[in-house]
Amino acid sequence: MDRSELSSLMQETGAIIRNSHIVYASGKHGSEYVNKDRLFVEPVIMKHGIVEPLTRLICDKWLPSLPTVKSYGLPRVIVGPAVAGAILAHAVAQGLAFYDPKIKCVYADKTSDGNYEFKRGYGKFIEGQEVLIVEDVLTTGSSVRKVIEAVAKAGGAVAGVAAIVNRGHVSFAPIPLVSLLDLNMESWEECDCPLCRDNVPINTEVGKGREYLAKKGVK
């Protein structure tokens, strides 16, 4: 499945929403949205449309010759930020276990101050290891950057980041990044939003539209 086919599939399943009025977590407005949660509803699509291509992409990056000798060249621990990133990370780790049966997968919990940390004794699997962080959608990259900090605090080193969609031209250089789709989704500050100017109704089903309207006193 190439990138064009994946983009079409995600749009057909409602994972990519276009021609709407979205309020993003950043507070900016836009007309498009990656409805990442929709992806996890269809296990077959998730496996064949997302997990398998992402696993191949990771192998192309870290196992360029795809050697028959297992456990060669891959980060030893796969990490995802909770919640959706943790689901994806576990699925990807299952695919990568073909090359390294001893590969581990853990997830990072969000803290009350908005950062991430490793609970449940997961830190011991991070210490001294190379880590691959897996995320569903990159918008600003802030969650992944916080997980990178959590990995460092736990004594690990981030070898790379993999994502389904990079919709914000995000980079973690010098840490390498691979993504299945790179989308250019325009967004505006509220005061510059053409959709607000044209009185286009705000989508309250996805994004932060419902919270935005509640703050405005609109029911």
Question: The tokens of 181 are what?
Answer: 């789709």
Cα(43)–Cα(59) distance, rounded to whole angstroms?
22
For residue range 63-78, list pLDDT tens digits in order.
865 444 444 578 899 9
Cα(82)–Cα(183) distance, rounded to whole angstroms?
23
The tally of domains found in the chain comes to 1
Report H helices in 21-83. 36-39, 43-45, 52-62
Cα(30)–Cα(177) distance, rounded to whole angstroms?
25
For residue range 171-209, list pLDDT tens digits in order.
999 999 999 999 888 899 999 999 999 999 999 999 999
Q: What is the pTM of this model?
A: 0.86
Cα(78)–Cα(84) distance, rounded to whole angstroms?
14
Contact status, residue 133 vs residue 80, Cβ threshold 8 Å: yes
CATH at 37: 3.40.50.2020
Domain with 210, as residue range(s), is 3-215
Give the pLDDT confidence score for residue 7 in this predicted structure: 81
